[in-house]
Structure 1
C-alpha cells in the first residue's frame, strides 16, 4: 500500500467539519482500530505505484495456486471481518462521502452480501464438457484467472463497488489493485486494512488486495499498464471514454460502469402509493449522487398534476441535516464543485423553459447542502434533460402514448437503469422486450435505484456495457480456453478433412 493521502474536505464540511467532524471523528477512528498512520500525509506517486504493482503480481502467484473453494473461504472471512465493523465503517463512509448513516451501513452490507455470494460461487465456476465430433477426443472449456485486476472506484460508493469487484475477482483467482477516489481515501485505507489482516492471519501476502492512493496520474498509469490484465473503472462517461481508449490502445480488457440518465415512467393505471415513495427515494437518495438516480420522471398526462402535487408535498417533508443524525434522510453534496453544477443545471433548466416547482437553491447552513429540486414544463429532448447532473434534480415530463414514452426513455446516450409503474401485463412484457427499455437494468413497479447483488449490474451505450456483481459477471474476471484432448491412437481432423 502506498502512502496515505491528505484527507480532502469533500462531503460537506458537514455541520462545519470542524464542529461535527471533530466532535466524533477521533473516537470513530479509534473505534475502527485501524491505526491509520498520519506521519506522511501525502498521496502516493508513480514510484510507489510501481512498487505496489510488482508486489501485487508476486502475490498473485501465491493466490492463483490456491483452489477456488479455499479462496472462497478467505473471502468468507473477509465478509465476517466487515460484519464486525459494519457500523463504524458505515459511519466513516457517512463522514467522508456525506451520505446518511443508514446508507453508509447499507453500502458496507453490500460488500458483505457479495462476499457471501462469492463463497458459493467459488464451488460453481467452470466451463462445460462439450461433445466432440472426433472419436476418442474430449472438448472442454477451461476458465483461468486473468491475473491482476485493477479497480478504480468513484466517491459515491467508496466501499460497495470495490466489494463487487474484489470478492468476485478473488474467488476467480485474481489479485486486486484498488484506486479509490481521492476524496474518500480514509474509507479506502480502512477497508484495505481489514482485508489485509484477514489475508495475513491466513499466512497469505496482504498484497493480494493492494491499494494505491493518488490522483489522475495513478489512474492513467493503471489504464496504460500492460501488467493490468483487467481494468474495472467506475466514474463519469467523459473520463470512462478516455480510460477505454487507453486500455484498448494496448489491447487490454476493461469493465466500464459509467453514467446514467435514468427514467421512471408512470402510466395512468399505476398505484400512486408505490409511485410517490419510489420517485422520492430514486431522485433524492444519496442527495442525487447515485449512478442509478432517477433524473427523468415521465407522467401520463391524465395524472401529471396529481402526481406533481403529491411529490412536492413529499419533498417538503424530507428531513435535511447532519448525515450522522438518525433522523436525517438527506445530507450534503460531496463537494463545492457539485453545488456549482447543481446551480448551473437549475439555471439552464429555467432558460430552456422549465419551471421550478420546489427547491432549486442552496440551503443556508454550513456544508454543501442544496434543496432537492423538481422541474416541470421542459420538453423531453431539452438539452439539460439529456445531461446527467450528479445532483438531486428531477425533470418531470408529460406523455400521452406508450410508444412515444418508451422511445423517450431510450433517446438519451446512457442506458443504465429504468422503471415503469403499471398494472397492464402486456405493457410490462413489452417494456421488457426488444422494443422496450434499452437499459441494463429494467424495473417494473420499483424505483431505478436499489439493485440487488444477485443480478448483474451495469448498462448499455455510454454507460459502458460493463457488468459487475451477480449472474455470470464472474466470466469478465477470467480468461477462457477451449481445450481439445485426444485420448485415442488416431488423428482424425475436424469437418472430416483428410490430410494424407
Structure 2
C-alpha cells in the first residue's frame, strides 16, 4: 500500500521545525510571530486563558511544535460574548453609517493584502498546504472582504401595497443585524473561511465571537492584529483559541449568542445544531460532502483529467466539496482512468514551503490515521487500488494521491467522507444511471459534469441534488455566488447576496394613515 519509490525519494525531511524554517529562509517577522505565546483576543485586548492553559501548534510536515496558543475556557467565552454584546448594544459599530463600516472593511482588506506574503507563509506552515495554494487562499480572503464591504451601504428593505387588506396603509420592511454571531471555523481553509463568515456579518453591523480551528489558528490570530490596526471598535471581533470540545460546544449553546455559523464535519455540525436549538438560536451549517463527478464520453478527456485531479488532490483532498466520487462513462473509462493515474503519480509531495511541492502533508497525525484507515477499508472491500497510499508509514503525515477503481456505491469508501487525497471511481452506461449513482448519497454539497452537450448539462444541473453544480471545471468559488449544501451537507448559505438574509432580521412596519 506504499506510494511508488520515486515519490518517496523526492521527499525532503527535517529533524526540527527550525531546520524547516532555515531551509526555506522564512522571514524574521514570521519567525517572531511563531515564537510568541499567543493569547486570546477579547474586547480589543490580548489576554491569557482564565486558567492559564495553552496548547501546542504542530507543523504537519515535521509533526513538531512551532508555536503555542492559549486554550480558552468557558469563563473566557462568557467574557467574549459579553464584550460582543456590549459592542452591539452600545451601537459603536451598528450605528456607524453604512459608508463608515464600508470604509473600515475596505481598510481591513487592504491590510490583509499588504501582509499577504506573511499570512500565506503562516497558512502554509499551519495547514501544511503548498505556498501557492495558501497564496490563493489569502487572495480569496481579500476579495471576500472587499465584496461584502460594498454591501454595507446597499442593504435596504422594501415598501409594498397590502395585497388583500382594505384601508389606507403605508407598509415597509427593515433589514436589521441579527446581533452577536458565534463563528466556528474549519482547519482546512482557516482564514478564507473566516472571511466567508465575517464579511457579511460585519457589513450589516453584527458583532462576533470567533472560535478558530484548534489545529490551525495562526492566521486568525494575525488577522486579529489587523482588525485592531484597521480601527474596528473593540468587541466587534473576539477570538478564542482552544479546544472545540470546550469552547466550540459552549459557544453554540451560549444564551448570549443570536446566531451560530459553522463549517466542519456533519457529525460535529449535528452536535452544534442540537446545542443551538436549545436556545432556538439561528444557525448556518456548512457540513460534509462526498461530491459526485460525472464524466461523459463527449467531454474533452485531457482537460477533464486535469480538472478531476485538481478537484480531489488540491489541498491534499481536505476540501468539503472535493470531487471524491468519480463516475466515468463506460466507453471512455479505460482511457480516462489510465490518464488520470498518470496525472496522480505526477503530483509531488513535500513541505508546503518547497516551491516544487504540489501536494503537502495532511494537517495532523490524527487526520493521517483517519485517511489511511479508509484506504485499508477500500482494499478490504475489494476496490482496486490503482495508485498512491501512505508514505513513510507511521513517521509522517504524507499520503500520495490515491485512486480506487472498480468501486460500487455500497462501499464505505464511496459513501463516507474521507477528507483526504482519495478518489473512488466506477463506470456508468447511461445518463439516467449516472444521475441515480450521483444522487445516491446522504450528502449534497456539490457535483460536477463533464460534457459538451448543453442539453445534458442543463437537465442534470436541475436533477442533481447538490448546492453547487460545476460544469467542465472543479470547485469554482467567488464571493458573489452563494455556497452551501443539500441533505446532510447542511443548510443556509455563505457568500453572495443570499448570505445577507442569514445575518439580518426582517422587520415589517405597518403605518395606518388617517
How far residue 383 of structure 1 moved from its aligned partner, in angstroms, is: 2.5
1:246 partnered with 2:247? no
1:106 partnered with 2:139? no
Q: Partner of 1:482 in structure 2?
A: 508
1:458 partnered with 2:490? no
How far residue 185 of structure 1 moved from its aligned partner, in angstroms, is: 2.2
| C-alpha distance in structure 2 between counterparts of 1:237 and 1:17, whole Å | 35
Q: 1:445 aligns with which of 465, 472, 484?
A: 472
TM-score, with length taken from structure 2? 0.87
1:285 partnered with 2:297? no
Q: Partner of 1:232 in structure 2?
A: 261
Q: Partner of 1:154 in structure 2?
A: 186
How far residue 328 of structure 1 moved from its aligned partner, in angstroms, is: 1.3
SS of the aligned residue for 1:322 comes to coil
CA offsets per residue over residues 479-499 of structure 1, 9 Å max, x none? 11111112x22xxxxxxxxxx
Give the direction of change, closer, same or farther, for the CA distance of 1:178–1:21 in structure 2 (3 Å limit): farther
CA offsets per residue over residues 173-192 of structure 1, 9 Å max, x none? 10011100111122221111
1:49 partnered with 2:77? yes
Q: Partner of 2:152 in structure 1?
A: 122
Q: 2:496 aligns with which of 460, 467, 470?
A: 470
CA offsets per residue over residues 305-353 of structure 1, 9 Å max, x none? 0011001111121122121122211000011111111221111111211
| C-alpha distance in structure 2 between counterparts of 1:265 and 1:220, whole Å | 38
Contact persistence 2:323–2:448 (CA under 8 A): no
| C-alpha distance in structure 2 between counterparts of 1:33 and 1:357, whole Å | 40
Matches within 5 A, 1:126-141: 126-132=156-162, 133-141=165-173
CA offsets per residue over residues 125-166 of structure 1, 9 Å max, x none? 122211134443111111100111110011101101110111
Matches within 5 A, 1:176-195: 176-195=208-227
How far residue 102 of structure 1 moved from its aligned partner, in angstroms, is: 1.2
CA offsets per residue over residues 408-434 of structure 1, 9 Å max, x none? 11111111011000011211110121x
Matches within 5 A, 1:253-332: 253-332=282-361
Which segments of 5 or more consecutive residues in structure 1 lack a partner in the other structure?
Answer: 1-11, 490-500
SS of the aligned residue for 2:360 comes to coil
| C-alpha distance in structure 1 between counterparts of 2:16 and 2:116, whole Å | 23
Which segments of 5 or more consecutive residues in structure 2 lack a partner in the other structure?
Answer: 1-10, 40-47, 55-69
How far residue 364 of structure 1 moved from its aligned partner, in angstroms, is: 6.1
Give the direction of change, closer, same or farther, for the CA distance of 1:417–1:16 in structure 2 (3 Å limit): farther
The alignment yields a C-alpha RMSD, in angstroms, of 2.1
How far residue 209 of structure 1 moved from its aligned partner, in angstroms, is: 0.7
How far residue 17 of structure 1 moved from its aligned partner, in angstroms, is: 4.5
Contact persistence 2:413–2:424 (CA under 8 A): no
Q: Partner of 1:18 in structure 2?
A: 17
1:421 partnered with 2:420? no
Contact persistence 1:150–1:178 (CA under 8 A): yes
| C-alpha distance in structure 1 between counterparts of 2:273 and 2:300, whole Å | 42
| C-alpha distance in structure 2 between counterparts of 1:298 and 1:223, whole Å | 38
Looking at secondary structure, tell me which structure has more strand per residue.
2
| C-alpha distance in structure 2 between counterparts of 1:481 and 1:34, whole Å | 49
SS of the aligned residue for 1:482 comes to strand
Give the direction of change, closer, same or farther, for the CA distance of 1:32–1:189 in structure 2 (3 Å limit): same
SS of the aligned residue for 2:235 comes to helix
CA offsets per residue over residues 232-268 of structure 1, 9 Å max, x none? 0111100100110111121110110110001110001
SS of the aligned residue for 2:334 comes to helix
CA offsets per residue over residues 436-473 of structure 1, 9 Å max, x none? 211000111111x2422210011111111121011321
Q: Partner of 1:400 in structure 2?
A: 429
Q: 1:379 aligns with which of 388, 408, 413?
A: 408
Q: Partner of 1:27 in structure 2?
A: 28
Contact persistence 2:119–2:138 (CA under 8 A): yes
| C-alpha distance in structure 1 between counterparts of 2:367 and 2:215, whole Å | 13
SS of the aligned residue for 1:206 comes to coil
Q: 2:228 aligns with which of 187, 196, 201?
A: 196
CA offsets per residue over residues 75-128 of structure 1, 9 Å max, x none? 111000100001110110000111111111111111110111112211221222
Aligned length: 470
| C-alpha distance in structure 2 between counterparts of 1:210 and 1:21, whole Å | 32
